[in-house]
Amino acid sequence: MPVISYREALNQAMREEMDRDANIFVMGEEVGHYNGAYKVTQGMLQRFSERRIIDAPIAEMGFAGIGIGAAMVGLRPIIEFMTFNFSLVAIDQIVNNAAKIFQMSGGQYHVPIVFRGPGGPAVQVSSQHSQSLESFYAHVPGLKVVMPSTAYDAKGLLKTAIRDDNPVVFIEGETLYNSTWEVPDAEAGEFLIPIGKADIKRVGTHVTLIAWSKMVWICMDAAKVLAEEGIECEIVDPRTLRPLDVETLATSVNKTGRCVIVEVGWPVAGFGAEVAYQMQKHCMDALDAPIERVTSEDVPMPYAKNLEDEVQPQVKDVVAAVHHVLYLD
């Protein structure tokens, strides 16, 4: 399979789906003539024209609402936020309209829309541009929440999200766009990854690390360090937070007897707390130690690089948490 970047995988997914279905269009800030703030929509304006690649003004509430209305009448919009921090401007449309119209209309209106864009901390963009908001959206019934960690997952899950008849919040790792992975191309045939199915990124026996998006890569690096000590970590990536594949996560934790949850979000009411609840509920008899959570510090993101690194989970933090659940500290 070709090795391509995370951003190229997203671009391929949208191109293939737009070639397949003329009802799909992309709308967002700088998606057209500028090729996207992170160049995810590179070349798509030339391929699909301004009719289907629509540059929007800096008015997230407005173009999110336009997308929801378009979805209600049969189109399939992909709404790009330049960063998911800006989705907060449109949160009323996402939470009070997109998530609820199917239920409030008695099933008369589907809302097949994807809200996508980068989320989580980037590098030195300070507190207003470095937030992990997945727990906000995973809290809301009616929304699906997807957070791929690899280019392979990004392509397969985005194609599935575009075909879904429900609103999908698709949060891309802001620092993952240049990361590469083997990804099937169009010549390989249909490539879809089901929403709600976790993936085991590394097989191990001593402890389960549960992480998503950027934190999967941190866990992979930590697992290499721990392997030198003879500790084999199993890394499970939920890939989608809502719906959550509790069965796959619990199977791993029941096997290893220990669990560390790693997320780049804040600790209070973070999504990792929900994962911890589900693991203790389904794995209580197998657990040999309390579940550990590794999160960012409970502060707004600093601008200074050394402080930014200190706030976010690092390899050393994951290693320390594993040592703790194995009673090695």
Name every residue whose Cβ is closer than 8 Å to that of residue 7 and which is 6 or more positions away in sequence: 38, 39, 40, 42, 177, 178
The answer to whether the beta carbons of residues 131 and 86 sit under 8 Å apart is no
The three-state secondary structure class of 53 is strand
Region for 179 from its dihedrals, namely left if φ exceeds 0, alpha if ψ lies in -120 to 50, beta otherwise: beta
- Identify whether 243 is preceded by a cis peptide bond (ω within 30 of 0): yes
Sign of CA dihedral 307, 275, 10, 36: negative
Distance in angstroms (rounded) separating the CA atoms of residues 323 and 329: 6
Q: Is 129 a catalytic residue?
A: yes
Q: Give the C-alpha distances (Å, rounded to integers) separating 42 from 14, 16, 19, 39, 174.
A: 11, 14, 16, 5, 17
The H or E element spanning position 136 is: helix 134-138
Question: Beta strands 3-5 and 24-28: pairing type?
Answer: unpaired
Q: Is 139 a catalytic residue?
A: no
Of the candidates 129, 139, 282, 324, the residue annotated as catalytic is: 129
The answer to whether the beta carbons of residues 187 and 239 sit under 8 Å apart is no
Q: Using CB atoms within 10 A of its CB, is residue 125 exposed (0-12), middle (13-18) or buried (19+)?
A: middle
Of the candidates 16, 17, 29, 60, the residue annotated as catalytic is: 60
The answer to whether the beta carbons of residues 97 and 62 sit under 8 Å apart is no
Q: Which residues are catalytic?
A: 60, 129
